[in-house]
Amino acid sequence: MPRFEPFHQQLDALDNAGRKRALVTPVGKDFSSNDYLGLARSSYLKETACAALDNGILHGSGGSRLLGGNHPQHEALEIFAAKHYGAEAALFFSTGYAANLALFSTLPQTGDLVLHDELVHASSHDGMKLGRAETQSFRHSDLTDLTGKAAAYRRAGGTGTIWIAVESLYSMDGDRAPLAGLAEIAGANDAVLIIDEAHAVGVFGKGGVGLSGALENQDNVIVLRTCGKALGVEGGLITMPVVLRNFFINRARAFIFSTAPSPLTAHLVHKAIEYVAENPALQTQLRDHIAVAENRLGTLCRSSHAGSQIFPVIIGEDNLAVQIAASLQQKGFDVRAIRPPTVPAGTARLRLSLTLNVSREDITALADALTEAQKMENAA
């Protein structure tokens, strides 16, 4: 057999199924990124970065946090983030993926149980695979199913900690988790609630804290906020009780054995969080975009997205989703097809993401183009 033939075969199979991925440089109006508040392209962060470099802030950390890579900018960000989000402590990771990997591979112990919403991020799943605890999924946002599985674990003699893992705003459907009910279940079962705020931080909550602000000061709540979406930079912040921060520093391999994020990045994240908190007009502008999109795209999307910046247009068949996305790209809209295994089989979709990189007129034009593209595909 020729060298690497199995890889050729697998790629061919993906291609035939309409699921082969490729890297594509963004072109056209931005309806695919997670730069919800337009900060990644902002003059504010560009000017902040230039000023920071001029003032001697390093663009590289030089090592892991435990071996010479810990800089004042990391410490300042974590102190500020803990205070801003109402937690005891915070720890900064290079990416949200690394943060989730560290979280689920480090905190749940042998004999514990992780109960996770079936739609949580792939990074959470990868962390669980490296962890010591038993894991079970519960039906998406189904509090009854979650309660039953927690009760079954206790009835079977489980005495460990139950960890409940959810997203506050789900990335592919744009629907919100029932956080109040989840917190109530966590309290009743002596469980820890882990909330991934990746797609809500900056967009929702006073000061851009996300959807979990009312729960943050509870000692059984851990929150992950990524910094590369609405905040426009990169990295991941976990806020938590101080004892867990100390445990991460001593036991989290994804933290200990990784070169620290650059001090410049930590500084920019710090400034981005401040900027969002000081400019509530950004959230107001995005809400206006959402209202326009709901009016023009609402009938094409799942109703569960209501009120969020994520509009899923379910196409169903993989190749058809790719074809419609391609037709929209040709008309100047950066729209991407999302296919299995990222989403369940039979639910290939266009994930329309609203950002402040586009105008109200752009949203209206996209709605018209999408309606026309679907008519043409249905007639073909």
242 & 329 share domain: no
* Across 267-279, average pLDDT: 98
Q: What is the CATH number of the domain that holds 366?
A: 3.90.1150.10
pLDDT tens digits, one per residue of 74-130: 999 999 999 999 999 999 999 999 999 999 999 999 999 999 999 999 999 999 999
Q: What is the pLDDT of residues 250-270, one digit of tens each?
A: 999 999 999 999 999 999 999
Does the residue 284 lie in any domain? no
Q: Are 139 and 98 in the same domain?
A: yes
For the whole model, what pTM was predicted? 0.94
Q: In this structure, are 108 and 180 located in the same domain?
A: yes
Report if residue 235 sits inside a domain.
Answer: yes
Q: Whose CA is closest to 199, among 167, 237, 164?
A: 167
Query: The CATH number of the domain where 119 resides is what?
Result: 3.40.640.10
Instruction: Flag whether pLDDT at 380 surpasses 60.
Output: no
Tell me, yes or no, whether 295 lies in a domain: no
Please tell me whether residues 115 and 30 are part of one structural domain: no
Report the chain's mean pLDDT, rounded to a whole number: 94
Residues 305 and 173 sit within 8 Å (Cβ to Cβ): yes
Could you tell me the residue range of the domain that residue 320 belongs to?
Answer: 19-36+309-379
pLDDT tens-place string over residues 143-190: 999 999 999 999 999 999 999 999 999 999 999 999 999 999 999 999
Once rounded to an integer, what is the mean pLDDT over residues 200-226?
A: 94
Residues 317-334 pLDDT 10s: 888 999 999 999 999 999
Q: Looking at per-residue confidence, does 28 or 301 come out higher? A: 28
Number of domains in the chain: 2
**Backbone CA torsion sign across 24, 175, 297, 346:** positive
- The Cα–Cα gap between 327 and 347 comes to 19
